[in-house]
Amino acid sequence: MQRLEFDIERFEEKEEEVLRESSRKAGRDAARSRLAEIAPFFTAKRIDPNDVKVLFDPVLYLVFKGMTSGACTELQFVDAESPDEQRRKFHKSLSSALRNGNVEWRTFNVQDDGCITCS
């Protein structure tokens, strides 16, 4: 009798796991579909929605190309063209800094206790 109960429990666990995975897939598909409606640019450029981080300011989005597949190969700044002169100046300044190599990369590590180290 115990063996039967154990087998039933294992079957239910596997069934739950399959259900969870299909729910995850449905969620990812829904997110992609919704993103295609909200920002068709990403779909047209074949950008994985999981690679997109929303900032709003100073640019709308950062795209970490390839992040979800394991290796970020490119960082893209994505923003709409703005009628605001100050924002256009910022775009030009950012573009110029990137083109001229005036950039710096730092990695900050946040420990469980809240301490931050820079490497």
How confident is the model at residue 27, as a pLDDT? Answer: 85
Residue spans of the chain under pLDDT 70 = none
How confident is the model at residue 64, as a pLDDT? Answer: 93
How confident is the model at residue 100, as a pLDDT? Answer: 94
How confident is the model at residue 43, as a pLDDT? Answer: 78
How confident is the model at residue 25, as a pLDDT? Answer: 87
DSSP character string of 71-97:
---EEEEE----S-HHHHHHHHHHHHH
Centroid of chain to Cα 51: 3
